[in-house]
Chains A and B, each alone.
Chain A
Amino acid sequence: MDKILKLLEDDATLTAEQLAIMCQKEVGDIKKMIKQYEQEGVILGYKTLIDWDKTDREYVSALIEVKITPQRDRGFDRVAERIYNYPEVQSLYLMSGGYDLAVQIEGKTMKEVAYFVAQKLAPIEDVISTATHFVLRKYKDKGVIYGVVEVDERGNCG
């Protein structure tokens, strides 16, 4: 069960047929399993890792530390919900330590990101402060190293 999840996490392009052969299961069973995972929300989606730096797309991303005042009964959830509903927000985590929420956002330009922080994020009541860190370079994401094209350098020896 978990094996299939791990395989798909590493390579979402694997087909049910391929998974079935590799894991010695029936194709029908694999399809059923995947469907169930999708229905239960274990599998939430399939995306592609793209190194935008290699394209001409204008693109910046930033990590924003946000301190907030938790609300009675609802803790951080309501504020979190307000923040994650913005399409610019790529990921949002509740953190232990010196601040409360870590917001990762993407925009076309630094100006756009600054606008988001100043006009949308900071004004939210309960947000006490924000600290924006722009990403200068992405080295690794989701276990994949960026900027390096893997070449099979193994020699034919043994």
Chain B
Amino acid sequence: MIDYSSVLSKTVMDLKKSGIRKFFDLLNDKSMKDVVGLTVGQPDFVTPWHIREAGIESLQKGKTYYSPNAGFTELQNEISKYLKRRFDLTYAPEQTIVTVGGSEAIDLAIRAVVEPGDEVIIPTPCFVCYEPIVRMQGGIPVTVETTFEEKFKLTPYALKKAITPKTKMLVLAYPNNPTGAILTREELEELAEILRNTNIVVLSDEIYAELTYGTQHTSIASIDGMWERTILASGFAKAYAMTGWRLGYLAAPAPITEQMLKIHQYAIMCAPTTSQLAAIEALRNGDEDIQMMREEYDRRRHYIYEGLRSIGIDSFEPQGAFYIYPDLRRFGLSSEEFCNRLLYDYRCAIVPGTAFGQGGEGFARISYAYSVKHITEALSRIESFVKSLKK
């Protein structure tokens, strides 16, 4: 008999199953068919037709071969132009790498930089992937809790306190999943002030950059002295409703790109050709699609924020992404208990804040990537539950 526990990597076995996965597994049960969920972390729009058509056409023309490792030059050119056009960032096409989703971009960035014993500062609550990837590199995740009271922003004070001589990387994921927090140019300036004279690399996960409301997204790479120490990870999923195409990209100074490209070459070879050819169309003719979707999310954002408030649930008003992160502390239940009871007794699913790491207790993530009708139904179920708690 083979003893798997002695065969498998201890590092991997020690990784915790993500909290969000555990909750999603509950939802996949057949008995959950009548549940109204606000859990999905992807747009409810279909990829705009002209982009899908570009993908279809590429298949019709038999473009089923590999692309160059870093991606089609044409796509790299478009990414370079796009970053300039939308965020005033200057990257030569060869300073970009086309990846399999924003996820691979994050993975490459961490693997290219972090060595055993290196510390990586990760503001939480956050998306679930940074910590495990750092651990697989033998790095040490140093989580820094952001709070409701500070609008879930990483503060200069907290950053300074977390930095040690071993700090190698800072993960900045704004607009933030799950909180909907953003960092303004002024706030980024303050963080840059601390980082500028260090050797700390910033991994800026800007997958939600196109989804900010009322303000234009600023990338930390556009702040003086930060370009040279920033790895920008982004993708097409959220901006163009292209989650299933699995396409993202990295932009960084050449010495970093060169190393990340090596890992990409060995592990992935190249991102899917069909997706890349569709993405060229997205970048060339998709600005209006982004605008349309952003406006729709913005209306739902107001709707869900006010809807929650009217039933007695306060939230930090999200300024980016498509999540709201209500404060449930006054109900006296743990996040998990709140979400489980809402799920089992009132048939409505939201994700417990604890799934997103430290600082999530007392909160939950609600996605508003749903129709107004769907949100209305979910809100009425949450209202019934909350009323039952007050009695």
Q: Does chain A bind chain B?
A: yes
Instruction: Give the complex CA separation of A14 and B40 in angstroms.
Output: 24
Instruction: Give the complex CA separation of A6 and B71 in angstroms.
Output: 39
Q: With an 8 A cutoff between CB atoms, is B306 at the interface?
A: yes
Cβ-defined partner of B40 (8 Å) among A7, A11, A156: A156
B39 & A23 in contact (Cβ 8 Å cutoff): no
- Interface 9-residue window, one of B53-61, B193-201, B296-304: B296-304
Cβ-defined partner of B306 (8 Å) among A11, A14, A21, A154: A21
Instruction: Give the complex CA separation of A74 and B119 in angstroms.
Output: 83
A157 & B372 in contact (Cβ 8 Å cutoff): no
Within 8 A of B (CB), among A138-158: 152, 154-158
Distance (whole angstroms) from the CB of B98 to the closest CB of chain A? 19
Q: With an 8 A cutoff between CB atoms, is B9 at the interface?
A: no
Chain A residues near B177: list those with CB within 8 A: 158
Instruction: Give the complex CA separation of A45 and B317 in angstroms.
Output: 36
Q: With an 8 A cutoff between CB atoms, is B286 at the interface?
A: no
Cβ-defined partner of B42 (8 Å) among A21, A22, A154: A154
A152 & B27 in contact (Cβ 8 Å cutoff): no
Q: With an 8 A cutoff between CB atoms, is A24 at the interface?
A: yes
B39 & A156 in contact (Cβ 8 Å cutoff): yes
Distance (whole angstroms) from the CB of B301 to the closest CB of chain A? 9
Instruction: Give the complex CA separation of A23 and B300 in angstroms.
Output: 9
Instruction: Give the complex CA separation of A156 and B40 in angstroms.
Output: 5
A18 & B42 in contact (Cβ 8 Å cutoff): no
Cβ-defined partner of A18 (8 Å) among B27, B44, B303: B303
Given contacts A156-B28, A157-B41, contact A22 B303 (CB under 8 A): yes
Q: With an 8 A cutoff between CB atoms, is B24 at the interface?
A: yes
Chain A residues near B27: list those with CB within 8 A: 156
B299 & A22 in contact (Cβ 8 Å cutoff): yes
Given contacts A23-B299, A154-B44, A156-B39, contact A14 B372 (CB under 8 A): yes
Number of B residues near A (Cβ < 8 Å) is 20
Distance (whole angstroms) from the CB of B325 to the closest CB of chain A? 16
Given contacts A22-B299, A22-B302, A22-B303, contact A11 B372 (CB under 8 A): yes
Within 8 A of A (CB), among B1-59: 24, 27-28, 37, 39-42, 44
Most buried by B among A22, A154, A158: A158
Distance (whole angstroms) from the CB of B89 to the closest CB of chain A? 25
Instruction: Give the complex CA separation of A21 and B306 in angstroms.
Output: 7
Instruction: Give the complex CA separation of A154 and B41 in angstroms.
Output: 9
Q: Which residue of chain B has the shortest Cβ distance to A24 in the bound complex? A: B302
Per DSSP, are chain A's interface residues mostly helix, strand or loop, or mixed? loop
Given contacts A11-B372, A14-B372, A18-B372, contact A158 B41 (CB under 8 A): yes
Instruction: Give the complex CA separation of A24 and B305 in angstroms.
Output: 12
Q: With an 8 A cutoff between CB atoms, is B243 at the interface?
A: yes
Distance (whole angstroms) from the CB of B369 to the closest CB of chain A? 8
Given contacts A11-B372, A14-B372, A18-B372, contact A156 B24 (CB under 8 A): yes
Chain A residues near B44: list those with CB within 8 A: 152, 154
Cβ-defined partner of B303 (8 Å) among A11, A21, A152, A158: A21
A22 & B24 in contact (Cβ 8 Å cutoff): no
Chain B residues near A14: list those with CB within 8 A: 372
Chain A residues near B376: list those with CB within 8 A: 18
Instruction: Give the complex CA separation of A62 and B62 in angstroms.
Output: 41
Instruction: Give the complex CA separation of A156 and B29 in angstroms.
Output: 12
B28 & A21 in contact (Cβ 8 Å cutoff): no
Q: Which residue of chain A has the shortest Cβ distance to B40 in the bound complex? A: A154
Instruction: Give the complex CA separation of A142 and B376 in angstroms.
Output: 24
Distance (whole angstroms) from the CB of A68 to the closest CB of chain B? 37
Q: Which residue of chain A has the shortest Cβ distance to B207 in the bound complex? A: A158
Q: Which residue of chain B has the shortest Cβ distance to A3 in the bound complex? A: B295
Within 8 A of A (CB), among B364-378: 372, 376
Chain B residues near A21: list those with CB within 8 A: 302-303, 306-307
Binary per-residue interface labels of chain A (12-33) against chain B in the complex, 1 for a CB within 8 Å, 0 otherwise: 0010001001111000000000
Q: Which residue of chain A has the shortest Cβ distance to B301 in the bound complex? A: A22
Given contacts A14-B372, A18-B372, contact A158 B302 (CB under 8 A): no
Chain B residues near A156: list those with CB within 8 A: 24, 27-28, 37, 39-41
Chain B residues near A22: list those with CB within 8 A: 299-300, 302-303, 372
Contacts from A to B (Cβ < 8 Å) = 7, 11, 14, 18, 21-24, 152, 154-158
A-B interface, 5 closest residue pairs, ranked by CB to CB distance from nearest: A158-B41, A22-B299, A156-B24, A21-B306, A154-B40
